[in-house]
Chain A
Amino acid sequence: MKVQVYVTLKPGVLDPQGKAIHHALEGLGFAGVDDVRAGRFIELEVADSVSDADLDAMCAKLLANTVIENYRIQRA
């Protein structure tokens, strides 16, 4: 089974990379972009026996740094 994990910076945490991407988009002439936040997408292939609690622990212990990041788990 495929599991998709989205790791994003918490609101309020400055995102210099998102800012640079924003500037680059403006430089390319794209108007109307108000903000850009960059994150990380991780895809796992797991056995059906892997529980939601297991997935949550994987995110909290390694895939995300919960000091600065939030995560969202989606079973595909």
Chain B
Amino acid sequence: MKTAVIVFPGSNCDRDMAVALRTVTGQAPAMVWHRETELPGGIDFIALPGGFSYGDYLRSGAMAARSPILAAVSAAAARGVPVLGVCNGFQVLTEAQLLPGALMRNAGLNFVCRTVPLTVANSQSLFTAGYKAEEAIDIPVAHHDGNYFADVDTLDRLEGEGRVAFRYAGNVNGSARNIAGVLNDAGNVLGMMPHPERAIDRAHGGTDGLRLFEAALGVLV
């Protein structure tokens, strides 16, 4: 199985993401620099990691969303290749309009860095099939711009179509309807602020993130 981690200047969770992918697949992912225009042939899974791409200049994820590799990521997503964006990766996916809404400054203005309880809002997606419906899980967050915003019609549509993948169990950053992760309409693109790659080993303090990778990558094995 071929996986890839997209690396932007300022990415800082790319190696953690690579460890998660290698742990689950047994193979090291391709680390693809943002200046590339093509992904490795036959790519099965793409991850956009956390970090501060381009120093969060203009808006978080704004510059990365216009980098050359994103055209290839968009094309792969349109073909149905699973794409996971975590934290800054989620911000990049919204800026690239692969996911609806926007991630604004946290309502409390503070950088939030702690493990938070989440609820699995949709346990049927290819990323969340390893969880039970409404299961409570613990995943770390670390972000300044995680306050999910979309207009009311979009929020209603996302909820009606089961495209809210995860919710915060309580208010973490002011996100509309406590949304922590959303899916695209085809269900093959997931963006989430919490870091599942930081919860795959008991030494991390929890392993609730592992099943996300196992489900998303397992369907491909």
Using CB atoms and an 8 Å cutoff, list the residues of chain A in contact with chain B.
Answer: 13-14, 16-17, 20, 61-63, 65, 67-68
Contact = CB atoms under 8 A, between A and B. Distances in A.
Interface of B: 58-59, 62, 66, 94-95, 100-102, 104-109, 147, 149-150, 174
A27 B60 CA distance: 30
A14 B105 CA distance: 10
B147 A67 contact: no
B147 A65 contact: no
A68 B151 CA distance: 9
Contacts of A61: 66
Given A65-B95, A68-B149, A17 B62 contact: no
B58 A62 contact: yes
Given A67-B149, A67-B150, A16 B106 contact: yes
B12 to A, nearest CB: 23
A67 B105 contact: no
A14 B94 CA distance: 18
